[in-house]
Amino acid sequence: MYKETLWLNGIEIVDVFYKKDKVRELAPLKCLPNKYAELIDFFGVQPSKIKVNFIYSRNEMDELWGSKSKVFAMVDNNDPYQIYIFSTLVPENITKHKIDDLLPIIVHETAHTFVTEINGRCFSWVNEGVCEFASGVVYEEKVEKKNWEWFRCNNVFIDTEIGWDCLIDHQGYNISFRLVSYIIERCGKDAIFDLLRVRRVSNGDMKNIISKILGSDLDTFLDDFKDMVNIRGVII
């Protein structure tokens, strides 16, 4: 493996490990230091140096994941500063993503390391939502009613047993992104950071804790959110 170090203001921020073609593989990352600076400004913290490891086959990614998967990138379960992502040399029919997707996805994964600096065990929906928000992603796909109802019926917003992997099959990234965006619009960015600081541990008062941060009963807040996105034609 070869290593390329990315710098920001004289500080090493990211080590990129690659095997083959420096020019082609690293080209999508040329804007990463600028995006990293934006993450510092947004989160107000800075993590330890991150390691980005390019992956070259689906089998290699599945081995890291622990089973068959469709993931394009992941953070190491035991080291939040280790990121694995497919190299741009891997065909799109294997990765299921276009080369242009690499930068926003790696910014999303990098944002997780910033969240870890705030709270290593926050609620998955706010973690994924704020990382999508910080990555600058834009969702055109509408939310299916059945997936929103799954979120509500399963108390995703307060159930401490629901991890991010449970959200994937229910448009979890889409819904979480839209809800985080709504919270920032209605309550301000500080409310998101207050939510990030809430530890995802058993607490019978969790609903009241989150309601207090939102300045509204949680159920009422979620109903208002649904009404708003319905007006905007988001939920089917």
Per-residue model confidence (pLDDT) at position 176:
96
Asked whether the predicted pLDDT for residue 236 surpasses 80, the reply is no
Q: Is the pLDDT of residue 158 over 90?
A: yes
* Domain residue limits, the chain: 2-118, 124-231
Give 51-106 pLDDT, tens digit per residue: 999 999 999 999 999 998 888 999 998 999 999 999 999 988 888 888 888 999 99
The confidence band for 144, taking pLDDT boundaries of 50, 70 and 90, is very high
CA distance to 11, 63, 87, per residue, from 8 (Å): 5, 33, 23
pLDDT at 21: 85
pTM of structure:
0.93
**Among 1, 13, 86, which Cα is nearest to 49's?**
13
The per-residue pLDDT for range 190-205, each reduced to its tens digit, is 999 999 999 998 877 9
What is the distance of C-alpha 111 from the center of its chain? 7
Retrieve residue 209's tokens: 């804790």
Which residues on neighbouring strands pair with residue 124, listed in sequence order? none
pLDDT at residue 3, as a whole number: 95
CATH number of 2-118: 1.10.390.10
